[in-house]
Amino acid sequence: MQELSDRGMRITFKLYASLADFLPAGSEKHTIKIDIPDTSTPNELIDRYKVPRDMAHLVLLNGIYLKLEDRDRNIIKDGDTLAIWPPVAGG
């Protein structure tokens, strides 16, 4: 088993609605715990799970909205939750 120092950080990654299809097997209720390097950015995780960036409409880090320019910053910390929703159409 890897030590935390070997894997970087562990976070909760959530994909909602149609984006949940991009989660790997073993995810439960649109959520998975993942190990990521200390230097990971939100966009790197979006790319890692092959979520089209134009479908990552609402991106929240611990419930706080991330603007487009913040998604390429190294702002994720151990224990954080990154949640992503697609654009929503309604009438």
Q: pLDDT tens digits for 15-35?
A: 999 999 999 887 888 999 999
* Residue 55: partners with Cβ closer than 8 Å, 6 or more residues away: 18, 19, 86, 87
35 lies in some domain: yes
Find the CATH number of the domain harbouring 77: 3.10.20.30
- Residue 90: pLDDT band (50, 70, 90) is low
Q: State the Cα–Cα distance between residues 85 and 18, nearest whole angstrom.
A: 8
Name the one residue in this structure whose structure tokens are 């909760």.
12
**pTM summary value:** 0.87
Give the closest residue to 15 by CA, choosing from 51, 48, 47, 40: 51
Domain region containing 23: 4-85
81 lies in some domain: yes
91 lies in some domain: no
Q: pLDDT tens digits for 57-85?
A: 999 999 999 999 999 999 999 999 999 99
Domain total in the chain:
1
Q: What is the mean pLDDT of residues 44-53?
A: 96
75 lies in some domain: yes
90 lies in some domain: no
